[in-house]
A and B are shown apart, each in its own frame.
Chain A
Amino acid sequence: MSSRIRLLGALSALLLGSVAAHADTIKVGVIGPMSGPYSLYGQNFQWGVQAYAQVNGKTADGHDVEFVFRDLPGVDPAKARALAQELVVRDGVQYLAGAYFTPNALAIAPLLQQGKVPFVVLNAATSSIVEQSPYILRTSFTMWQNTVPAAKVAIENGSKKAITIVSDYGPGVDAEAGFKKTYEEGGGELVETLRVPLSTTDFNPLVQRIKQSGADTVFAFFPAGAPTLGFMKSYIGNGLKEDGIKLISTGDLLTEPDLPALGDVAIGTQSTYHYSASHDSPENKAFMEALKAVGADPSKVTMAAVAAFDGAKLIYEMIDATDGEQDPQKAVDAVKGMSWESPRGPVTIDPDTRHITQNVYLREVAKEGDTYMNKEIRTFEAQPDWGLEGK
């Protein structure tokens, strides 16, 4: 009798063991800048994904989800492609996510069809990325999306003549085009468009030129970091504010981690953006709590964290819809047109472009206590990617 029980026990153990071995783990590869000058944003990817798992558990519809992170510190299309290939072929990931820079996202796109892998872009903001493959989804933003409201604000504030200054690379050119189109359609005159190298840090000569251009408004876009700070200091130091030349920019110039560095000089500066860590909603409060629970520093939370959080949501939904099977078309179709309440506000995945439609906010830099924040003062509801809209 006892030997029978033992046998049964052994059998069931064997069975359990085999079940555990078969219980599928679905791997998701996340490529982002985990080291180097942009590591803050890679860290934000990580925080956002972990925060989602913190709230929703580590299983999607009974399937374990495992995120695998890979470091891609800068613009390096060849390495982006190699990393993606390695993740798909060797690690067997069913989903890819990440891409901080546009060229990296573009390099990954051709692999998706063959690898049968959907790819959720968590940052890269050039409009055309989603057109490169039917398996690309994007939960971040595009330059057009954030720039069009900026131009509208300028027109509504009575601006007649404007000048643009942007970094001379893909997103900068997109921002310039987006501003130009909307501003000129609104009846404004664009007196000059300046494109400066990404490495520019001394903006004094450029600000002098803006001053003499006769424009009443300057639109600026640079990627967050050294150039934004240099520009803001020159803008203030040369007295453009006093001369009545208004500044309007996308939120990239005023990301929360950089605000303390800008200090009081930035107070009152307006920008348009899709996410601010201080966004007042229960969803955002819960998001910030979840971020803290996974060890995130609240003062370093950026748009990349919310993009990763929503990106993880899409991946969970896709796993759910395909029941863990590798069926990219079914997975992508399942989330097309999906709407939900994100920490940034109501969002929808546009079924045609697979890009996220979201609110864009006009914000003003404010100081509450010792904390600088982007206070949302106006909402532009349900903004599509204007760059794809026109096509």
Chain B
Amino acid sequence: MVLFFNILSDAFVYGMVLFIISVGLSLAMGLMKVVNLAHGAFAMIGGYIASYITQDQGMSYTLAVAAAVVGAIIIAVPMERLLYRRIYGTSELTQVLMTIGITFVIIGVANFIFGPTLKTIPLPDELRQRVDLGFRTMSSNRVFIAFCGAAVAAGLWYVIEKTDFGIKLRAAVENEKIAGSLGIKTSVIFSVSFALATGLAAFGGVIGAELLPIEPYYALTYMVMLLVVVCVGGAGSIGGALAACLILGTVDTVARYLLPSYGAFFFYFAVIIIVLMFPNGLFGRKLNV
């Protein structure tokens, strides 16, 4: 039983990191119909900024998280205006080629400026404690990650379901032309959503750095996993992304605990089964990209 809770708690934390990073990608794919392969690169930018602020400037972790989110958004918004806007509604191939190109540019620049070594983000003392959960001890950082994941899920649900912005957003997703003709400025909605998606990626990149370490090839290493989460959950669905992250996080963690030498076999096996049963993802609708 202790073992069961052990695995479950690790799986939950891992799933939450995946969720925070990938929910933005899910929104971008569902909403703007853009396959943004550079999403992982924005998480990486967040990680690099946070590492720079804490390691090189010696400033606090809180400030680093804030700077990472804001910094990534500052970099992303002009990109959305100048580059992404051109590829909305074009073929997947164009989108994939351009966004993978952006990823390579970001990797190259990060390598050039910060060097090829691993970057870490030192945690404040509060996040270095070990918390006794009754059945096991866990680092307070992991508890914090779980809490952040839940907060992001709740916050996004609230914004999308309960606010004015959320209504416009859903309308734009449903039918961009009609939403536009009703006076909703869809281009502004898209920009704000893109910024939100990027900010979440950066946030996830920073707080999840202990599980998915920041290194120059971060953007490519974890991109497959993020895309898988979106496919399994269904593009554009917060609940879907959450469910996918928790299911896949659990499968991956259990497999790693019980049968480590099988590697990612069970992870992808689960993906194949789910996608066969739900071709549009757990909570997805058919994508008309």
**Are A205 and B216 in contact, with the CB atoms below 8 A?**
no
The residues of A that contact B3 with a CB separation of less than 8 Å are 212
Whether A194 and B122, one on each chain, are in contact in the complex, defined by CB atoms closer than 8 angstroms, is: no
Knowing A196-B260, A230-B211 touch, does A205 contact B10 (C-beta < 8 A)? Answer: yes
Does B117 make an interface contact (CB < 8 A)?
A: yes
B256 A239 Cβ-Cβ under 8 A:
no
Interface residues in A139-175 by Cβ distance below 8 A to B read 168
Q: Are A37 and B215 in contact (CB under 8 A)?
A: yes
- Other CB < 8 Å A-B pairs besides A168-B263, A261-B119, A262-B120, 16 of them? A36-B217, A37-B116, A38-B116, A194-B261, A195-B260, A200-B256, A202-B211, A202-B253, A204-B10, A205-B254, A206-B256, A209-B260, A237-B141, A237-B210, A257-B117, A258-B117
Which residues of chain A are within 8 angstroms of B264 by Cβ–Cβ distance?
A: 197, 199
Contact call B117/A194, Cβ cutoff below 8 A: no
Whether A263 lies near B117 (C-beta < 8 A) is no
Cβ contacts under 8 Å, A37 to chain B: 116, 215-217
How many A residues touch the partner, as a band? 35 or more
Q: For A227, give the chain B residue with the smallest CB separation.
A: B213
Q: A200 to nearest B CB, angstroms?
A: 7
Question: Is residue B212 within 8 Å, beta carbon to beta carbon, of the partner chain?
Answer: yes
**Nearest opposing residue in chain B for A208, CB measure:** B6
In contact, A261 and B257 (Cβ under 8 angstroms):
no
Contact check, B142 vs A205: say whether CB atoms are below 8 A apart. Answer: no
With contacts A40-B117, A197-B263 taken as known, whether A205 is within 8 angstroms of B138 at the C-beta atoms is: no
**Which residues of B pack against A, CB within 8 Å?**
3, 6-7, 10, 13-14, 55, 111, 115-120, 122, 130, 136-139, 141-142, 210-213, 215-217, 221, 253-254, 256-257, 260-261, 263-264
CB pair A199–B221 under 8 Å, yes or no, is: yes
Report the separation of the CA atoms of residues A201 and B212 in the bound assembly, to the nearest whole angstrom.
6
A-B contact pairs, 19 of them (CB 8 A): A36-B116, A39-B116, A168-B263, A194-B260, A196-B263, A201-B211, A204-B14, A204-B142, A208-B7, A208-B257, A209-B257, A209-B260, A226-B118, A229-B120, A229-B213, A237-B142, A238-B139, A261-B117, A300-B117
Q: Report the minimum CB–CB distance from A255 to chain B (whole Å).
A: 10
Say if the beta carbon of A225 comes within 8 Å of chain B: yes
Q: Is the interface of B mostly helix, strand, loop or mixed?
A: mixed
Question: A233 near B: Cβ within 8 Å?
Answer: yes
Once A230-B213, A263-B122 are accepted as A-B contacts, the answer to whether A237 and B138 lie under 8 Å apart by CB is yes
Tell me the smallest distance from the CB of B50 to a CB of chain A, in Å: 13
Q: Which residue of A lies closest to B129 (CB)?
A: A237
Q: Is the CB of B210 within 8 A of A233?
A: yes
**B139 surroundings in chain A (CB, below 8 A):** 236-238
B274 → chain A closest CB, angstroms: 21
Residues of A within 8 A of B253 (CB): 202, 204-205
Residues A239 and B257 in contact in the complex (CB < 8 Å), given A201-B212, A204-B10 = no
Most buried by B among A200, A204, A230: A204
When distances are taken between beta carbons in the complex, the residues of chain B under 8 Å from A257 are: 117
Residues of chain B contacted by A197 (CB below 8 angstroms): 260, 263-264
Closest CB in chain A relative to B144 CB, distance in Å: 12
Report the separation of the CA atoms of residues A285 and B263 in the bound assembly, to the nearest whole angstrom: 43
Across the A-B interface, the 9 shortest Cβ-Cβ residue pairs: A237-B139, A197-B263, A205-B257, A261-B120, A226-B213, A204-B10, A39-B116, A195-B261, A202-B211
**Cβ of B218 to closest chain A Cβ, rounded Å:** 9
Q: A199-B221, A200-B256, A208-B10 are in contact. Are A261 and B263 (CB under 8 A)?
A: no
Query: In the complex, which residues of chain A have a beta carbon less than 8 angstroms from the beta carbon of B261?
Result: 168, 194-196
The smallest C-beta distance from A61 to any residue of chain B, in angstroms, reads 37
**Residues on B with beta carbons closer than 8 Å to the beta carbon of A212:** 3
CB B24 to nearest CB in A, in angstroms, measures 21
Residues of the B chain whose Cβ atoms lie less than 8 Å from the Cβ of A194: 260-261
Instruction: Collect the chain B residues with CB atoms within 8 Å of residue A201's CB.
Output: 211-213
Find chain A residues with CB under 8 A from B217 CB. Answer: 36-37
- Return the chain B residue nearest A197 by Cβ: B263
- The reply to whether A263 and B256 form a contact with Cβ atoms under 8 Å apart is no
